[in-house]
Structure 1
């Protein structure tokens, strides 16, 4: 894997130290009210699903995804975008709930890929299996026409061999603890994407694997802040860093720096977003009147609520509740959905 070419620069050390400091601080921050943690996780999950699928071409907004996820039991999807969202949502749930019991093996990675594509009927022929035909990364013009291959991935013949080597290397490195787990995770992801082992879904699966690896290594705050949203906001830099490092992987001196710096910087932005959200939650406790705080807590615990529900639960005057709701919406603490009698309120998605 030529990890001897990794240069542990002061910038890399500083990024790792900052991320690990927050990892330790989360033990205290994680004692937030359960409804607050539930709300943070719900918003982050929606952002992650939306961003990760949009990076690959989906057109669904976070609001549309939020509505779709409230009706997942229907399991009838009219578009491929909806099917991809449903699959991503289920894989995220599996990772959050079972990451401790999921070993890092090829078999489990293939199972996660199968789950990711389970609702997309057009992908049934290849889900859960390594690619059978070449899938080099191409660039397309505004009309969707290919303008050429910009990166050659592993061939179908060598994919199983190189995937086995990658997983064995990662397992050994995590066990030996001679390389920081954030660096191991970064190398696994950039190499996985260079191999592009599956016919489709590699980008989405790489971001699922990132969450899995981080949770596995004790970064327990990850479900409460979306790394995918950070990547979407920095998509050009994301692809540039990937290409700069991937273009050197088959040489004797791979240049890991572009990708490592992007990966660690993205993790820093992820934890900063969470710090900001926590600060906002703590500020709410000081600034808002008791009924407003109660309304926010109800929305956080339930995901959504109507004016009538709030009146019934709090026994507050309907007009008083309405004024509190209007103020909370105006200050962007909550989000108003629908109109008239069909109006309901939810946590705000940013």
Structure 2
């Protein structure tokens, strides 16, 4: 079984846990935002999560590409491997968000979730939902999707079934005992899962979905509304470094849990900070904006981006009038402009 005695609960770990748990309680107590606002936040976070999580693994699709693909999911026909991976990840996230209370945390269900993840990936049809049969290792990719090196070696196919059974048993025992904080259990699960790397492909993406599932089952109900994956993507070098520093020691007498746990908790705290900022902006915007400016912000929230032309068609207002609203929103820090001239588009800042 896992040796967690070497985990040192530092003042920073305590502070980060307290910060995250404070927001968890505040989110529940406030009843927070109206359903349509929550729906818009969740859609944006889902697009960010899918885009970031697949790009961490080498995909080249932008968030805009992901949004376009999600709007056509019913087609069920995807030309590239990147598109196949996005489609599977989107279906898996939707499943977890809608059924998290009813998903037992055991090996069979983890294998079923892996099947959903790779559902559209033709290349992976042989090993969907089955543990690996040949050795694999964790590679790092640069921004253009080119592999830049091996991060660490993983468990052998022979050892994988035993190590996975031990890991799942440890998680469920610790959740039942209630002696170790849930965030520490989830963090340790994630790093050990990636150290085992139980499936031939999709381990990184699945680890992030399973992290979300465990967080929601532990009562962190705000998780669908702010993307943890995008936080990790922006700190990819630190992510790989923390993984490497901890994973090389997991099977030793004194594992170095702290490198990964600190990175994991910092990422969760940044996820909370981003959502706090969005919620605060919602309140300010809804209270103070003129009607057409409010329409612009709501459109950007729902679709991830907005153009002046789209708002002309939607509102019937003149282009010059709307340009002034866009200018005011940009100067006030609500919108960010990308591109210029007739090709300019805007997103929430």
TM over 0.5: yes
CA drift of 1:36 comes to 1.7
- Cα deviation per residue 1:306-336 (whole Å; 9 max; x = unaligned)? 447633xxxx655687457644774574689
Whole-Å Cα distance in 2 between the matches of residues 157 and 86 of structure 1? 31
CA drift of 1:275 comes to 0.8
Whole-Å Cα distance in 1 between the matches of residues 124 and 51 of structure 2? 20
Whole-Å Cα distance in 1 between the matches of residues 43 and 281 of structure 2? 17
CA drift of 1:185 comes to 0.3
- CA 1:278 to 1:134, structure 2 compared with 1: closer, same or farther past 3 Å? same
What is residue 90 of structure 1 aligned with on the other side? Answer: 91
CA contact (8 A) 2:184 2:261 kept: yes
What is residue 254 of structure 1 aligned with on the other side? Answer: 255
CA contact (8 A) 1:106 1:163 kept: yes
What is residue 270 of structure 1 aligned with on the other side? Answer: 271
Whole-Å Cα distance in 2 between the matches of residues 23 and 252 of structure 1? 35
CA contact (8 A) 2:305 2:348 kept: no
Q: How does 1:175-194 map to 2 (within 5 A)?
A: 175-194=176-195
CA contact (8 A) 2:44 2:304 kept: no
Q: How does 1:105-124 map to 2 (within 5 A)?
A: 105-124=106-125
- CA 1:321 to 1:31, structure 2 compared with 1: closer, same or farther past 3 Å? farther
Whole-Å Cα distance in 2 between the matches of residues 189 and 229 of structure 1? 17
| Structure 2 gap segments, 5+ residues each | none
- Cα deviation per residue 1:267-322 (whole Å; 9 max; x = unaligned)? 000000111111222221243113322454466567789447633xxxx6556874
Whole-Å Cα distance in 2 between the matches of residues 119 and 6 of structure 1? 40
- Cα deviation per residue 1:184-206 (whole Å; 9 max; x = unaligned)? 00010100000000001100000
Q: How does 1:140-151 map to 2 (within 5 A)?
A: 150-151=151-152
What is residue 279 of structure 1 aligned with on the other side? Answer: 280
Find the residue that maps to 2:166 and give its secondary structure. Answer: helix
- Cα deviation per residue 1:30-60 (whole Å; 9 max; x = unaligned)? 4212222111111111000000000000001
Q: Confirm whether residue 310 of structure 1 aligns to residue 311 of structure 2.
A: no
CA drift of 1:71 comes to 1.1
CA contact (8 A) 2:16 2:266 kept: yes
- CA 1:168 to 1:259, structure 2 compared with 1: closer, same or farther past 3 Å? same
CA drift of 1:5 comes to 1.5
Whole-Å Cα distance in 2 between the matches of residues 17 and 126 of structure 1? 41
What is residue 67 of structure 1 aligned with on the other side? Answer: 68
CA contact (8 A) 1:292 1:324 kept: no
What is residue 103 of structure 2 aligned with on the other side? Answer: 102
Q: TM-score, normalised by structure 2?
A: 0.88
Superposed CA RMSD: 3.0
What is residue 221 of structure 1 aligned with on the other side? Answer: 222
Whole-Å Cα distance in 1 between the matches of residues 29 and 318 of structure 2? 38
Whole-Å Cα distance in 2 between the matches of residues 116 and 108 of structure 1? 12
- CA 1:304 to 1:253, structure 2 compared with 1: closer, same or farther past 3 Å? closer
Whole-Å Cα distance in 2 between the matches of residues 143 and 43 of structure 1? 24
Find the residue that maps to 1:151 and give its secondary structure. Answer: strand
What is residue 288 of structure 1 aligned with on the other side? Answer: 289
Q: TM-score, normalised by structure 1?
A: 0.88
Whole-Å Cα distance in 2 between the matches of residues 55 and 302 of structure 1? 23
CA contact (8 A) 1:304 1:344 kept: no
Moved more, 293-302 or 129-138: 293-302
CA contact (8 A) 2:60 2:145 kept: no
Moved more, 253-262 or 327-336: 327-336
